[in-house]
Amino acid sequence: MAAYDGQVVAVGRGAFPALGAKVGVIQKEIDINAAVAQKGTDLAATDVIEVFSVRKGQAVLAAGFTVDTAAAGTALAIDLGDGGDVDRFVANFDAKSAAGTVAPVVSANIPYVYAAADTIDLNMKTVTSVTALSWGKVLVWAVIADVEDLEG
């Protein structure tokens, strides 16, 4: 099969056009203790902590979290997802992992383009015997591109 190169555009180093998707990294440290204080009682396996709001036409190229302060207790598993899929980005991660541990990303689900506005959420999955005021902290991050109505 012959290759037809009459329309190829060579993209050299630093030669990307200024037009196109705007890509950025967002991050937020979530103190799970603060969510417990806001709720007024311990978290349950169905509780959700909203982290980022996303608009229609935004593409999440990657999303995940890193443990800042480990939770203490018997079990605390967390998912990272959204309203359509509670574990779209991270599934069943043990929040008692050591500080600095990066939650493995569910790569099969990214990139993901939102067809409607939604939120990226931490979803409590397994919660048993978590020591009071020792829920920990996680740094949630996402690489997002705004791909709606691109002009080029």
pLDDT tens per residue across span 101-134:
888 888 888 899 999 999 999 998 877 766 665 7
Angle (CA) 27-29-33 rounded to 5° is: 155
pTM for the full model?
0.80
The CATH number that domain 22-146 falls under is: 2.60.120
Looking at residue 5, its pLDDT comes to: 60
Across-strand partners of 69?
A: 137
Q: What average pLDDT is seen over the chain?
A: 82
* pLDDT band per the 50, 70, 90 thresholds, residue 91: very high
Angle (CA) 8-9-10 rounded to 5° is: 115
Please classify residue 61 by burial: count the beta carbons closer than 10 Å to its beta carbon, then call 0-12 exposed, 13-18 middle and 19+ buried. middle
4-35 confidence digits (pLDDT tens): 666 666 555 555 555 667 788 999 999 888 88
Instruction: Answer for the pair 66, 97: CB distance below 8 angstroms, yes or no.
Output: no
Query: Going edge to edge, which strands form the sheet with 22-31?
Result: 22-31, 137-146, 58-69, 112-113
Looking at residue 140, its pLDDT comes to: 94
